[in-house]
Amino acid sequence: MAQPSHTLHDVVLIDAARTPFGKAGSLYAGTRADDIMIRCLRGLLERNPKVIPSEIDDVAIAAATQVGDQGMNIGRSVSILAGLPNTVPGYSIDRWCAGALTAVTTIGAAIAMGQYDLGIAGGVEHMGNHPMGDLMDPNPRYLAERLVDPDAMAMGNTAERLHDKFPHLTKERADRYALESQNKTAAAYQAGKIQRDLIPVAVRSAELGWGMATVDEPPRPGTTYEALAALKTPFRPAGRVTAGNAAGLNDGATAAILASAEKAAQIGAPVKAKLISFAFAGVEPEIMGYGPVPSTIKALKKAGLTIEDIGLFEINEAFAIQVLSFLDHFGIADNDPRVNLYGGAIAVGHPLASSGVRLLINLARGFEEHPEVRYGITTMCIGLGMGGTIIWENPHFNGKKA
């Protein structure tokens, strides 16, 4: 009897792109979520003509709120609407903020097992159409049986709880970190580093008619520390979390093309990153922002690496305190230049399930700029107390120290 083969394959990133991010219900107020995702998917394939759509093995698309224009198995529905052949299957994923990150690991794992050669992973969130928690019905046992603290049900409160846990991570430090995110994003825009991976999207306004989204709407260049320090703390009187040191409510989509190293070589596609390991981990739901710490520890262990081996970090900035607690745990300075080269979600926005691939887009560009760096990570916190981390290897690594 023949024995099945289980040869493992290297998983590589061919390319990734995203739409401009908008403020919730503003830039994309007249645009459906699935149409944003469709344009992102089409735009990604248009700029990768070596990828033949009929050879795509699967499409995994995430959304945190899977109803309305984000429902009906958005992975399959947007594939059809984007013009992929009917032979290409698709599915939807929900791991809240880490939806696109999980789409990457799910497609990547199938490629590693040799079941897929080529796949697409992405995510979309239209928080204007679907506010956080829209149509959710949390089981009353969560609170009645004290399974979670009430603060776990409001992300801003979980950030305040992180400040409680680490009082040395002050509001001043959070505000200064937020200012640095805005400044990095402004500098990256000025240098044309962010625009190159944005897929333009046609938008419709009842007042202005048709237009084109070409840049992110949320960034606030020219932000000052004094302005950030003066903002109100909506989650707690005299608190530390503000609209300035947290990501906003946003709309947008992302997508990535993953392949086996053999498939990438066969079609002559460039490689932007190689997947080394990944891990997800849980923490107390009321301090969900701490999740990237244990998930990174697990991912490093699986890869046989240490934090000292990591040369670039892309950390989702759901809240400044969440990033600071990660950096503090690993002994990394608040302003370490290896962290979020082009700024982060505090500036450009965090359309929940899409953000994991945005991190990958920035890391891949960072790899190009820094061939002296061998390994980098993408990591993020997740609602109800989780973290997710992927470790990547730089295909441009030249073995030279910076």
Q: What is the CATH number of the domain that holds 297?
A: 3.40.47.10
Report if residue 77 sits inside a domain: yes
Q: Is 97 a catalytic residue?
A: yes
Report if residue 296 sits inside a domain: yes
Catalytic residue among 130, 163, 350, 370: 350
Residue in this structure with the two tokens 């994991």, named with its chain if needed: 356
Q: Is 396 a catalytic residue?
A: no
- Nearest Cα neighbor of 355 from 16, 47, 110, 3 is 16
Q: What domain count does the chain have?
A: 1
Catalytic residue among 40, 97, 130, 370: 97
Taking the CB of residue 284, how many other CB atoms lie within 10 A of it? 16
Catalytic residue among 40, 130, 163, 381: 381
Q: Give the CA radius of gyration of the chain.
A: 20
- Nearest Cα neighbor of 379 from 328, 322, 329, 336 is 322
Q: Identify the H or E element spanning 258.
A: strand 250-260
Q: Which domain holds residue 348?
A: 11-129+248-391
Report if residue 200 sits inside a domain: no
Report if residue 364 sits inside a domain: yes
Partnered with residue 123 across adjacent β-strands are 62, 254
Report if residue 84 sits inside a domain: yes
Work out the angle at residue 135's Cα, subtended by the Cα atoms of residues 132 and 136, and round it to the nearest 5 degrees: 75
* Distance from C-alpha of 323 to C-alpha of 290, rounded to nearest angstrom: 9
Backbone angles phi, psi at 145, to 5 degrees: -100, 10
* Distance from C-alpha of 114 to C-alpha of 111, rounded to nearest angstrom: 5
Per-residue model confidence as pLDDT tens for the chain (402 residues): 677 767 899 999 999 999 999 999 999 999 999 999 999 999 999 999 999 999 999 999 999 999 999 999 999 999 999 999 999 999 999 999 999 999 999 999 999 999 999 999 999 999 999 998 888 888 989 877 888 888 898 999 999 999 999 999 999 999 999 999 999 999 999 999 999 999 999 999 888 889 999 999 999 999 999 999 999 999 999 999 999 999 999 999 999 999 999 999 999 999 999 999 999 999 999 999 999 999 999 999 999 999 999 999 999 999 999 999 999 999 999 999 999 999 999 999 999 999 999 999 999 999 999 999 999 999 999 999 999 999 999 999 998 775
Tokens standing for 339? 């962290």
Report if residue 39 sits inside a domain: yes
pLDDT at position 247, please? 98
Which value, to the nearest 10 degrees, does the dihedral of the CA atoms of residues 191, 192, 194, 199 take?
170
pLDDT at position 402, please? 58
Contact 311, 395 (CB under 8 A): no
Report if residue 383 sits inside a domain: yes
Q: Is 40 a catalytic residue?
A: no
pLDDT at position 146, please? 81
pTM, rounded to two decimals: 0.97
DSSP strands (E only) in 106-243: 118-126, 201-205, 209-213
Report if residue 221 sits inside a domain: no
* Distance from C-alpha of 258 to C-alpha of 281, rounded to nearest angstrom: 24
Residue in this structure with the two tokens 């880490």, named with its chain if needed: 98
The CA–CA distances, whole Å, from 332 to 144, 308, 313, 337 equal 39, 10, 11, 10
